[in-house]
Amino acid sequence: MCGIFAYLNYNVSRERRYILEMLFNGLRRLEYRGYDSAGISIDSDEHGPLVFRQEGNIESLVKSVYQEVATTDLNLEESFSIHAGIAHTRWATHGEPAPRNSHPQTSDPGNEFLVVHNGVVTNYEVLKESLVRHGFTFQSDTDTEVIPKLAKFVFDNANEEGDKRVTFSQVVLEVMRHLEGAYALIFKSRHYPNELVACKRGSPLLLGVKELNEKASTGACFNDAKFLSSNGQPKELFLSSDASALVEHTKKVLVIEDGEVVHVKDGGATIFKFDPAKRGGTLTRPASVERALSVLEMEVEQINKGKYEHYMQKEIHEQPDSLTTTMRGRLIRGGSCKAKSVLLGGLKDHLKTIRRSRRIVFIGCGTSYNAALAARPILEELSGIPVTLEIASDLLDRQGPIYREDTTVFVSQSGETADTLQALEYALENGALCVGITNTVGSAIARTTHCGVHINAGCEIGVASTKAYTSQIVVMAMLALAIGDDTISSQTRREAIIDGLFDLPSKLKEVLKLDEEMKDLARLLIAEQSLLVFGRGYNYATALEGALKVKEVALMHSEGILAGEMKHGPLALVDETLPIVVVATRDACFSKQQSVIHQLHARKGRLIVMCTKGDAASVCVGGSCRVIEVPQVEDCLQPVINIVPLQLLAYHLTVLRGHNVDQPRNLAKSVTTQ
């Protein structure tokens, strides 16, 4: 949620129009995160920063900016050899979507200090009361507005005390001392022209650096000090809450750590470490620290739709390739004393500790939680260790017991999910071994856990997770194989699963051929108000995740139900009008699901049954239900196959109902606030 983007050109001439378009395009790359308003700030000729804010989408902002510019004498063709601009997409937390609540938020009518913010300031009410007592007036309903006003207060006080040499970074460091909560911030000020200061605590933020005279063959070999120094070389510097807005400009990035302050000035970046323990009457002047740059592994093609109409559609159809990438180099079949095994490099030094655990606790939210639920049976079977699941927010609300003897596994596509991160901090405080399963290298969860596995599903832009879900299940199946690797009695079972993993991409290609069939089914369901999905065993997770996909993108009420609970309430809903999906593929629960189908049919249920190829006659009572046939794989991998038709159904339902499939109403891709 919320997108931050900033652009600074140094010793290279850029027209104001070019700078505007650079900021707009940066925001467009962040649209998928979810937002309801947007804004930018650039410099005028002599009156300091200009601020443009607009409710609605980015194109509404673009239109309003050019309309406003047309009524002024602002010259869009004017060139700047150095200029700093900031931009933001907002997802409302405090205050309704409106221009006054959009970012950048300002300190005063003269825009002395401007801030774009991702996150929530939890103590803003106390700060606001204090600032009001000091004569400040507030125009917005946001928590963010206290930040630029606090910066002005700090700056004014320093100047009153005669400290004319106070730097921009010193002001920001002092502001940070007063802020509580999670945030990523970029500051711009008329007192410090052509400078930006960024800082973060709990929300993602990256700095990208592009030297315009660098040789194209530099590749991954570059000197950190050279790229971050003020060396006079023509440069473009970028700040963003997401790598997807940087990759088309540069692959050389600095992943800003929690508590770091990055001061961008004169084409260079100086990094300071915030120390909350240092307090005093004067502003501190901390020493700078050195940090290493990283190389983005993302490609520009990953953030384009290619031949597809929508990102969700593209990512559903990418799953054979994304699963191949997830498993690459991790499955070993033949050529050694262990004919079939799994190698998870990020876990190999901790496997003995995991095997000695009293229990394994999986912690996640939404789709990530469902993926863990799908993998739980095989983890219990192969490890012999009790496996429990926790929704991150619920664990925190209860302050549920976590012990030193536990292994806690944190599952998050983005690696930045706020509730999951807080649960991680809680588990660390309680001494548990913490394992991360994420899709984002360098994310907060990847950096903070003791060890982990990257799912390597590739960039996922659609808000409704698809390929990350299937890759998460596969990674957790491989985790089960790795933990149980020392158990002789389960060797045959493990080898069958490894064979199944090798065959999984080809089976996914097969199930994707159901695309048109699911589109036809979507046409039949387009006017329905509700959908039930029944599953059990490995496919209880399929029922929950399939219902979640329909719910979040098609905006249709849908509910995933454990089939064993059918007679404990849900059966009352069944009549001839309510569509019901029953997942009844071949596994240990197949005969029980057959019984469920008979009971639903007896009550004239409108059935859609997902079954294994060749089983239509076994599940379709009297030929009265619609059947979706899918290829059979090893039972613990079947949820990877079974979710795909439901993903396709959700996609087609959404498109046919006229909704935005990549940006569902009220939702955001990376939930970085609570």
The whole-number average pLDDT for the span 82-91 is 91
State the amino acid at position 208 in one-letter form.
Answer: G
pLDDT-derived band of residue 222, with 50, 70 and 90 as boundaries?
Answer: very low
Q: Which of 314, 313, 367 is nearest to 655 (CA)?
A: 313
Angle formed by the axes of helices 58-70 and 16-29, nearest 10°: 160
- Kind plus residue range of the DSSP H or E element containing 272: strand 268-273
Q: What is the DSSP letter of 451?
A: E
d(CA 343, CA 500): 16
d(CA 622, CA 627): 12
Q: Is the pLDDT of residue 336 over 70?
A: no
Q: What are phi and psi of 377, to 5 degrees?
A: -60, -40
With H, G, I as helix, E, B as strand and everything else as coil, classify residue 398: helix
The predicted structure's pLDDT at residue 447: 87
pLDDT-derived band of residue 335, with 50, 70 and 90 as boundaries?
Answer: low
Other Cβ atoms less than 10 A from the Cβ of 100: the count is 16
Within 13 Å and on the Cβ side, how many CA atoms surround 205? 28
Segment 178-200, tens digit of pLDDT: 998 888 999 999 999 999 999 98
User: What's the chain's average pLDDT?
Assistant: 88
State the amino acid at position 518 in one-letter form.
Answer: M
Percent of the residues in the chain that have a pLDDT greater than 90, as a whole number? 57
The predicted structure's pLDDT at residue 278: 63
Q: Is the pLDDT of residue 436 over 60?
A: yes
- Kind plus residue range of the DSSP H or E element containing 470: helix 467-483
The pTM assigned to this predicted structure is 0.78
List CB contacts of 640: < 8 A, sequence separation 6 or more. 323, 470, 473, 474, 504, 508, 633
Matching residue, tokens 């207060």: 153
What positions carry a catalytic annotation? Answer: 2
The predicted structure's pLDDT at residue 14: 93
Q: Is the pLDDT of residue 281 over 60?
A: no
The whole-number average pLDDT for the span 624-646 is 94
User: Would you state the structure tokens that stand for residue 503, as one six-digit string?
Assistant: 């065959």
282 against 517, higher pLDDT: 517
Segment 88-121, tens digit of pLDDT: 998 777 788 889 999 999 999 999 999 999 888 8
d(CA 537, CA 590): 9
d(CA 318, CA 301): 13
The predicted structure's pLDDT at residue 113: 96
